[in-house]
Amino acid sequence: MMLECKKVNLTQFKALFVLVTAILALLVASPALQRVLVYPQTESLTELSLLGPGQTAANYPYNITSGENYTVFLGIANQLGSCAYYNIEVKFRNETQSAPNAFNFTPSTIPSLYNLNVFVANGERLDIPVNFAFDYSFQTVTQTVTTSVAVSGGPVEQITENAPVLQANFNSLTFNGETLNLQGYTSNLNPQTDVFYGNLIFELWIYNSTIGGFQYNERFVDLIFNMTSAGQE
Amino acid sequence: MRFRRVSLGVLLLATISIAVLSVPSAVWAQQNNAASAISTAQSKLVQCYDAATAAESEGANISSLTSRLNSAGLLLSNAELAYSNGDFASAQSLAVQSQSELASFVSDANSMQASAAQSRTSSFLLNVVGSIVGVVAVIVAAFVVWGFLKRKYGNDAGVQKSESDAV
């Protein structure tokens, strides 16, 4: 009787058996591995953004009319790894006043008009609607103006004279329903661009518990305005 | 008669002087109170922020806490603005409102922190200990199965026996 009884070669399946066991063990261990394997956070930063009225990066107000309301959205996204306490310093300046420097990471030296206290949890983003309106008027003032005059065949001469200059005088800025005093803020007509320059700045400061105060977070966003559209006399 | 006139004059002068001097004093007191209320509100805000951060570090969802902090922060911002505008009564009122907004905040944050810590411990036990037990079970089961297979199919590796060979 040629009865053949084949015995299975288990060694051939040993590797496969070990592999299947290892995969099963890894699957079962995955919840624990998830806790043990903490991936390092690659970026630790705060995003500061400014969006237009439709919450898109478009249609930013530029031509400003006195007394008219405008809306933008200030966005703060916290990627620092823990809850953060921010202070947004709202500043307004004309063309000649100090501006924050994006290269030297320094804030503007002009005093802030309003400080907004903001808290954002880690990994969250806060969009703050900002409604604002300027109250200003125009007047002609006499100022000392220095002009360069090129005389034909001769050197360029600097002539200093008193001349009438059109100036925008700011009274107030209504910011989210709060009236901020802009008395003493002025903006002269720029003869090259023919605009009355206005610059609304939002500087980001962050609370440092070690020093117990706020530090400039080297970030700012701003809006540049043309204040020529309204009530020009 | 003359003495009476002089006395009346002195009395009137003294009354006017007191009235004039008391006005700046009252304003100064109001300013002082407002400054003190703002300072307290600022400290309270920092204290609550620390409590919220501690709760967050334990894994608590602090969205409700940051929302309250933002409300209190806005009131404090407006209090500071009113103070800089010389409206000390409003400044004080807003600063007190800011503090009220944060009443029971620290205890709420601590409770969230404790709850998150407890949840974290349970989760740790379930995940880590459960996983370790599971892995051990898988390995033991593998050995048992391997032993069973060995007994059933033999361990003569690489040899295919046939009864005909034996015969």
What is the least distance, in Å, from the CA of B25 to any CA of chain A? 26
Are B73 and A119 contacting, i.e. CB atoms less than 8 angstroms apart?
A: yes
Overall average pLDDT of the B14-21 stretch: 68
The third-level CATH classification (topology) of the domain covering A45-229 is Coagulation Factor XIII; Chain A, domain 1 (2.70.50)
With CA atoms as reference, the chain A residue closest to B134 would be: A28
Please name which of A60, A88, A71 lies closest in space to residue A225, comparing C-alpha atoms.
A60
What is the least distance, in Å, from the CA of A81 to any CA of chain B? 9
What band does A8 get if pLDDT is binned at 50, 70 and 90? low
What band does B19 get if pLDDT is binned at 50, 70 and 90? low
Domain count, chain B: 1
Pairing of strands A213-226, A125-150: unpaired
For residue A29, list chain B residues with Cβ-Cβ distance below 8 A: 131-132, 134-135
pLDDT of residue B90: 94
Residue B100 lies in a domain: yes
Written as one string, the DSSP assignment of A67-128 is T--EEEEEEEEEESSS-EEEEEEEEEE-TTS---BTTTTB--SSPPSEEEEEEE-TT-EEEE
Written as one string, the DSSP assignment of A116-140 is EEEEE-TT-EEEEEEEEEEEEEEEE
User: What six digits make up the tokens of A80?
Assistant: 């620092």
User: What six digits make up the tokens of A64?
Assistant: 């400003």
Residues B65-81: pLDDT tens digits? Answer: 999 999 999 999 999 99
What is the least distance, in Å, from the CA of B57 to any CA of chain A? 7
Residue B71 lies in a domain: yes
Chain centroid to Cα B139, Å, comes to: 44
For residue A82, list chain B residues with Cβ-Cβ distance below 8 A: 53, 56-57
pLDDT of residue B167: 40
Q: Please report, for the domain that includes residue B50, its CATH number.
A: 1.20.140
pLDDT of residue B103: 92
pLDDT of residue B166: 44
Overall average pLDDT of the A14-30 stretch: 90
Across the interface, do B63 and A119 touch by the CB < 8 Å criterion? Answer: no
Residues A97-135: pLDDT tens digits? Answer: 888 998 889 999 999 999 999 999 999 999 999 999 999
- Look at residue B24 and tell me whether its pLDDT is greater than 70: no
Residue of A4, A5, A10 to mutate for B, most B C-beta atoms under 10 A: A10
Q: How far apart are CA B116 and CA B106, in angstroms?
A: 15
Nearest to A7 among B45, B76, B156 (CB): B156
Which residue has tokens 């706020």? A214
For residue A122, list chain B residues with Cβ-Cβ distance below 8 A: 56
- Look at residue B158 and tell me whether its pLDDT is greater than 80: no
Across the interface, do A4 and B163 touch by the CB < 8 Å criterion? Answer: yes
Residue B11 lies in a domain: no
User: What six digits make up the tokens of B90?
Assistant: 């409003």
The residue ranking higher by pLDDT, A162 or B84, is B84
What is the least distance, in Å, from the CA of A55 to any CA of chain B? 21
Residue B99 lies in a domain: yes
Residues A164-182: pLDDT tens digits? Answer: 888 899 999 999 999 999 9
Tally the C-alpha atoms within 13 A of residue B83's C-alpha that lie toward its C-beta. 24
Q: How far apart are CA A69 and CA A64, in angstroms?
A: 9
With CA atoms as reference, the chain A residue closest to B149 would be: A10
- Look at residue B20 and tell me whether its pLDDT is greater than 80: no
Mean residue pLDDT of chain B comes to: 84
pLDDT of residue A156: 77
Q: What percentage of residues in chain A have a pLDDT greater than 90?
A: 59
Run of H or E including A35: helix A10-36
pLDDT of residue B165: 47
With CA atoms as reference, the chain A residue closest to B142 would be: A21
Q: How far apart are CA B104 and CA A45, in angstroms?
A: 31
Across the interface, do B56 and A122 touch by the CB < 8 Å criterion? Answer: yes
Residues A129-156: pLDDT tens digits? Answer: 999 999 999 888 887 777 777 766 677 7
User: What six digits make up the tokens of B139?
Assistant: 């390995």
- Look at residue A1 and tell me whether its pLDDT is greater than 50: no
How does DSSP classify residue A55? S
Mean residue pLDDT of chain A comes to: 87
Give the least confident one: B35-44, B84-93, B94-103, B146-155. Answer: B146-155
Written as one string, the DSSP assignment of A135-179 is EEEEEEEEEEEEEEEE-TTS-EEEEEEEEEEEEEEEEEEEETTEE
- Look at residue B8 and tell me whether its pLDDT is greater than 90: no
Residue B112 lies in a domain: yes
Which residues contact residue A156 at a Cβ distance below 8 angstroms, ignoring those fewer than 6 apart? A148, A149, A150
Residues B119-150: pLDDT tens digits? Answer: 888 888 888 888 889 999 999 999 999 888 88
Across the interface, do A28 and B134 touch by the CB < 8 Å criterion? Answer: yes
Range of the domain at B112: 20-118
pLDDT of residue A233: 42
Residue B50 lies in a domain: yes
pLDDT of residue A192: 85
